[in-house]
């Protein structure tokens, strides 16, 4: 999940 | 979504609108680097491939589509618009994009979080965005009498990156699993590239003079 969180950024 | 992130995204959006306004209002893209615009289109294209594979939020999807649409429309105007294309400073916009595209591609292949095509392309877009402003900064140095809208466009782009750093600090402190060294280091480097520009931007503003880079 740690890697996924920043993918919600643009 | 925190206030820094929202402010960053809105600043990014406004910077693009300022550039489109300049092109529409003055029918000119003088002082704007097509190389940087091409690189941004490449950045958005590779970063937003997950539009097809993952849904995050309506906000996220709409913003991605807006960034893709506006970046390609800017390129369209600069390359093909009957009037605007003639105002492009092709002779001055000499930065060789290949010198940043290739190292970013190699770096993305070597340093990434996961060996998958989507992940490597995403990482490439992160590295490339960090340095995509370089052709624009070089062109600004060569441009006499930088107009207000062009100066403000670059200023807003730099502000957007600075606000993202505040967003990362906030998220690091409030979200237990929020760790992204690749994004942070690239983002800090990217913001650093604007330091010089900011200095001359504020100097011109304080002295009420037209912006010019030495």
Total Cβ atoms within 10 A of residue B154? 26
Encode pLDDT of B64-115 as tens digits. 999 999 999 999 999 999 999 999 999 999 999 999 999 999 999 999 999 9
What is the structure's pLDDT at B214?
A: 85
Which stretches of chain A sit within 8 Å of chain B by CB? 1-3, 5-10
Which one, of B47, B51, B44, lies nearest residue B70 by Cα?
B44
Residue B175 pLDDT more than 50?
yes
Which one, of B135, B74, B70, B138, lies nearest residue B101 by Cα?
B135
Q: In this complex, is the C-beta atom of B175 within 8 Å of any C-beta atom belonging to chain A?
A: yes
CA distance B105 to B115: 14
Encode pLDDT of B192-214 as tens digits. 999 999 999 999 999 999 999 98
What is the structure's pLDDT at A1?
A: 42
What is the structure's pLDDT at B176?
A: 85
Chain A residue closest in CA terms to B161: A10
Q: In this complex, is the C-beta atom of B73 within 8 Å of any C-beta atom belonging to chain A?
A: no
Contact A7 B54 (CB under 8 A): yes
Q: Report yes or no: B140 and B204 within 8 Å, Cβ to Cβ.
A: no
Residues of B in contact with A9 (CB under 8 A): 5, 164, 167, 183
Q: State ipTM.
A: 0.85
Which one, of B65, B187, B72, B194, lies nearest residue B129 by Cα?
B187
Which one, of B177, B195, B33, B35, lies nearest residue A7 by Cα?
B177
What is the structure's pLDDT at A4?
A: 63
Q: In this complex, is the C-beta atom of B57 within 8 Å of any C-beta atom belonging to chain A?
A: yes
Which one, of B73, B71, B70, B89, lies nearest residue B81 by Cα?
B73
């Amino acid at each position: 999940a740690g890697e996924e969180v920043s993918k919600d950024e643009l | 979504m925190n206030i820094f992130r929202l402010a960053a995204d809105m600043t990014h959006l406004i910077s693009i609108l300022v550039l489109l306004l300049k092109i529409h209002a003055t029918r000119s893209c003088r002082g704007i680097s097509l190389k940087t615009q091409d690189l941004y289109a490449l950045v958005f294209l590779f970063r937003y491939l997950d539009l097809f594979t993952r849904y995050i939020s309506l906000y996220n999807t709409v913003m991605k589509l807006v960034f893709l649409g506006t970046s390609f429309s800017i390129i369209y105007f600069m390359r093909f618009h009957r009037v605007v294309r003639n105002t492009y400073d092709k002779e001055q916009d000499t930065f060789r994009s290949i010198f940043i595209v290739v190292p970013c591609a190699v770096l993305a292949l070597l340093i990434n979080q996961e060996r998958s095509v989507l992940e490597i392309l995403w990482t490439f877009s992160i590295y490339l965005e960090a340095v995509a402003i370089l052709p624009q900064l070089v062109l600004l140095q060569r441009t006499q009498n930088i107009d207000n809208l062009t100066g403000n466009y670059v200023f807003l782009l730099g502000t957007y990156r600075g606000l993202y750093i505040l967003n990362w600090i906030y998220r690091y402190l409030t979200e237990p699993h929020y760790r992204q060294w690749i994004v942070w280091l690239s983002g800090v480097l990217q913001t650093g590239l604007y330091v010089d520009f900011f200095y001359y931007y504020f100097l011109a503003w304080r002295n009420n003079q037209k912006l010019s880079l030495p």
